[in-house]
Amino acid sequence: MTAMLKDSVTFGEAMVMFIASRPGALKDIDTFSRRLAGAEVNVAIGLSRLGLSSGWISRLGEDAFGEYIAEYLAREQVDIHGVTYDSRYPTGFQLKSKVHEGDPQVQYFRKGSAASTLGVADVDFGYLTGFRHLHMTGIPPALTKSTRAFAYAALETMKGAGRTVSFDPNLRPSLWSSKEEMREVINDLACRADWVLPGIGEGEFLTGSRDPKEIARFYLNRGVSLVAVKLGPEGAYYRTPNEEGIVQGFKAKKVVDTVGAGDGFATGLIEGLLRGLSITEAVRQGNAIGSIAVQSEGDHDGYPTKEELETYLHNHLTGVRQR
Active-site annotation, residues: 263
* DSSP string for residues in 75-144: HTTEEEEEEEEESSSPPPEEEEEE-SSSPPPEEEE-TT-SGGG--GGG--HHHHTTEEEEEEESSHHHH-
Nearest 5°: CA angle at 309, between 297 and 241?
105
DSSP state of 1: -
93-98 β-sheet, strand order? 32-37, 15-23, 93-98, 106-109
Q: CB–CB of 280/238 below 8 Å?
A: yes
| Contact partners, residue 163, CB within 8 Å, separation at least 6 | 129, 131, 132, 133, 134
H helices present in 161-237, as ranges: 179-190, 200-207, 212-220
